[in-house]
Amino acid sequence: MNMSHRDKHIPFKRMQLERGFYQEAEATGVTFADFLGGVDNGAYCDPESSLDPFQQQLAARNLVTHGPQSIQLETFYEGDSSILFPEWINRQIREGMSLGKNALRLDDLVSVETEIESGVYQVLVSEIGSEAKAKRVGQGGEFPKVEITMGEQTITLGKYGIALSASYEAIRRVKAPIFAATLRKIGFYLGRQMVDDAMTALVNGTGNNDAATVDQVAVTGTLDYSDLVTFDLNFDPFESNFWVAPKAVITTVLNMVEFKDPMAGFTYQQTGDLISPLGNTLRRYDGTLMSTDRIVGFMHQFAIEKVTERSASLVEVERIINKQIEGTVISQVVGYAKLDKDAARVLDITY
């Protein structure tokens, strides 16, 4: 939470927090911060502040969670401040789930997010054949049709989680930034697990005849620049904007003469950002799905639908508020659907 110069000199209004706020936020389908912003018609929220309503309530209680003046965790349990602790934990975990620069992240794959009430979801399937492309129609003629149906196979959501093995007494004097780093690490590993399943859906499909088409290089075991050009042009009607590959394949691509542009080399040396071969964002992924000789290309806008069971929190709110840290589970119920089978292709280097 970084305050602007203006924010540091504004006394935010302190509201009376209630543990039922989480359930109310979930019931109304809004975030916890948005719910706080609407309490008493926004009476406790400064709309001109750079801080969101949750952060403003932290500031109103002088709960500093970063820097040398940061609080110990036991400070969260003074008065009604404990109500803010679950959301603070949520934010650290979510930040950890999005960490990484060159590694494939869930955000790279997910185009659409859907919340549902149950653990089973039926996928929407749209088929656009070559005869169904938009075209000019003469008077009285029929327009091409796009068939939109529900998939034959449903997807079952899975639960990703980690249980905390630490008592309140053991962590109560820990500084907030130290605990935040641990939570971000937990989020980082949860994110990696979710990427594995999302990639499986992207490549293998979800049982609705939607596995990615597999292309092959010209000479098995050898990846050349011409193979990359052909692979890129094979996308039709979509155009890929992400390529995913394991370490060995990325090493081969980075060392191709065609990509040894002085400016590309300068950027990699200065920032560590990988090149963008043929305009595609290159991401590293070393999961078993990729083996060591594959590239997966996809168009982000039509890749993966992330389906989650409706919940406003990644942590067990009541347990956190009640200091029952030991055994508290950090979890999310998630499943993945593929938006369009033609939005992803696979290049096999060894076949």
Q: Is residue 176 situated within a structural domain?
A: yes
Q: Is residue 65 situated within a structural domain?
A: yes
Domain residues for the domain of 53 are 7-100+157-196+311-334
Residues 49, 16: contact at Cβ < 8 Å? Answer: no
Q: Is residue 73 situated within a structural domain?
A: yes
> For the stretch 188-205, what's the b/e string if a residue is b when 16 or more beta carbons lie within 10 angstroms of its beta carbon?
bebbbbbbebbbebbbeb
Residues 106, 187: contact at Cβ < 8 Å? Answer: no
Provide the number of structural domains found in the chain.
1
Rounded Cα distance between 150 and 29, Å, is 25
Q: Is residue 285 situated within a structural domain?
A: no
Rounded Cα distance between 72 and 29, Å, is 32
User: What pLDDT score was predicted for residue 146?
Assistant: 55
Name the burial class of residue 324, with classes exposed (0-12), middle (13-18) and buried (19+) by CB atoms within 10 angstroms of its CB.
Answer: middle
User: What pLDDT score was predicted for residue 130?
Assistant: 46
Q: Is residue 136 situated within a structural domain?
A: no
Closest C-alpha among 8, 202, 43 to residue 109? 202
Closest C-alpha among 308, 292, 216 to residue 247? 292
User: What pLDDT score was predicted for residue 245?
Assistant: 96
Query: What's the CA angle centered on 243, arms 241 and 248, to 5 degrees?
Result: 160
- φ, ψ of residue 43 to 5 degrees: the values are -65, -25
Q: Is residue 345 situated within a structural domain?
A: no
> For the stretch 121-131, what's the b/e string if a residue is b when 16 or more beta carbons lie within 10 angstroms of its beta carbon?
bebebeebeee
Three-state DSSP at 324 gives: coil
Structure tokens at 131: 């005869």
Q: Is residue 72 situated within a structural domain?
A: yes
Side chain identity, residue 182: T
User: What pLDDT score was predicted for residue 263?
Assistant: 62
User: What pLDDT score was predicted for residue 347?
Assistant: 97
Q: What are the pLDDT tens digits along the chain (351 aa)?
A: 555 544 555 579 999 999 999 999 988 888 999 999 999 999 999 999 999 999 999 999 999 999 999 999 999 999 999 999 999 999 999 999 989 889 999 999 999 998 887 767 776 666 555 444 555 555 666 655 555 555 666 778 888 888 888 889 999 999 999 999 999 999 999 998 899 999 999 999 988 888 999 999 999 999 999 999 999 999 988 899 999 999 999 999 989 988 876 565 556 555 666 778 888 999 999 988 877 799 999 999 999 999 988 765 788 899 999 999 888 888 888 899 999 989 999 999 999
Q: Can you say how many angstroms the Cα of residue 37 is from the centroid of all Cα atoms in its chain?
A: 25
Q: Is residue 112 situated within a structural domain?
A: no
User: What pLDDT score was predicted for residue 80?
Assistant: 96
Q: What contacts 106, CB < 8 A, 6 or more positions away?
A: 97, 98, 191, 194, 195, 198, 306
Instruction: Work out the angle between the directed axes of helices 176-204 and 85-97 (0-180°, nearest 10).
Output: 50
